[in-house]
Amino acid sequence: MKTTPFTEFHIRAGARMIPFAGYNMPVEYTGINDEHITVRQAIGVFDVSHMGEFWVTGPSAFDFLQYITSNDVSLLFDGKVQYSCFPNGRGGIVDDLLVYRFGPEKYLLVVNAANIEKDWNWCVSHAPEFGLTPGKELINVSDDTAQLAVQGPLALKAMQKLTDSPIMDMEYYTFREIKFAGINNVIFSTTGYTGSGGCELYVKNSDGAKLWDAVFEAGKEFGIKPAGLGARDTLRLEMGYCLYGNDINDQTSPIEAGLGWITKFTDKKNFIDKELLLKQKNEGVSRRLKGFILKERGIPRQHYEVVDQSGNIIGEVTSGTMSPMLKQGIGMAYLAKGFWKTGSEILIRIRNKDLKAEVVDLPFYK
């Protein structure tokens, strides 16, 4: 099992460790609810070094990315980040990812930990069409990169102490390469997976320990705490953010998943599955990913059946939890047509009991 440059810090802090995507990762320290609330109100720090990073460079980098990703890469400018996905050629999704533009011929892709090998093979399989050579214009630096997500409303205020570069006025989904905590060329990105603001920091593995110590020292006066995979999941679900393997996968289309906003049908962009997805957009789909709140006490979980008032199966839960902020069961599910309208009544089948639920707009926590 792989470790990250921060593994020893997790163990020292008393984290409960579990295998995740081939890594030994912390699932919780002081408890999921406590860590969740800390991120919503102050600052929590996640080790996300298990994520994958690929560089794409050269004269054809732009054309390559326009073809294999669903979003419009031409909308990017230097220092801008874009959320996107890889359509799989069969109407499904290889993975969702972030695209960082460093220049017209230099991009960084950040992909999900569990899909690194799959995504890399996908990119490599299409590279020859654009004259890209793996190891040259297409480089996998996943094993060489450490990453911390410093999340929460006080995160940027605390992190400003570690750099002379102005970061508190940075717009959402932008980045800069700066000197940070005495480390050169840190990629400082105002992104995250929690909906509570903050940043994500990319450094070389060798700078990991220095970064960890500096971040926690700077955040001490603001109540900073380490947070694990458990809180990361409850935080993203409260915001209605998709998790690959739960809410999206090789069998779900971005149109079904409510990701039409990252699927751009422009004349100048020809991408994988464009015609199929455009047909879905114009003609509609038979199921959609929707959010719901339980009206009775219970916790929805992945794969639980969703039924109508007559007991007919109309969908399946993809993600669910007890919201630490709302104190009620929340979840997302693919629902059949006719049950997409906000306020629609549905039932979640939990241990052979059908509990009342209501379709709601996302995010759950505002």
Using alpha carbons, select from 18, 134, 122, 32 the residue that is nearest to residue 69: 122
Q: What are phi and psi of 358, to 5 degrees?
A: -135, 135
In tens digits, what is the pLDDT along the chain, a chain of 366 residues? 999 999 999 999 999 999 999 999 999 999 999 999 999 999 999 999 999 999 999 999 999 999 999 999 999 999 999 999 999 999 999 999 999 999 999 999 999 999 999 999 999 999 999 999 999 999 999 999 999 999 999 999 999 999 999 999 999 999 999 999 999 999 999 999 999 999 999 999 999 999 999 999 999 999 999 999 999 999 999 999 999 999 999 999 999 999 999 999 999 999 999 999 999 999 999 999 999 999 999 999 999 999 999 999 999 999 999 999 999 999 999 999 999 999 999 999 999 899 999 999 999 999
> What's the confidence (pLDDT) of residue 112?
98
Q: State the Cα–Cα distance between residues 137 and 347, nearest whole angstrom.
A: 51
Q: State the Cα–Cα distance between residues 339 and 134, nearest whole angstrom.
A: 46
- Are 139 and 55 contacting, i.e. CB atoms less than 8 angstroms apart? yes
> What's the confidence (pLDDT) of residue 289?
98
Q: What is the pTM of this model?
A: 0.97
Domains in the chain, ordered, with CATH? 7-49+144-238 (3.30.1360.120), 286-360 (2.40.30.110)
> What's the confidence (pLDDT) of residue 242?
98
**Between the CA atoms of 59, 69, 234 and 229, what dihedral angle is there, to the nearest 10 degrees?**
-50
Residues forming a β-bridge with 248 = 244
**DSSP strand pairing (44-47 vs 145-151):** antiparallel
> What's the confidence (pLDDT) of residue 21?
95
> What's the confidence (pLDDT) of residue 286?
98
Q: State the Cα–Cα distance between residues 4 and 23, nearest whole angstrom.
A: 8
> What's the confidence (pLDDT) of residue 319?
98
50, two tokens: 């298990």
> What's the confidence (pLDDT) of residue 231?
98
How far does Cα 43 stand from its chain's mean position?
18
> What's the confidence (pLDDT) of residue 299?
97
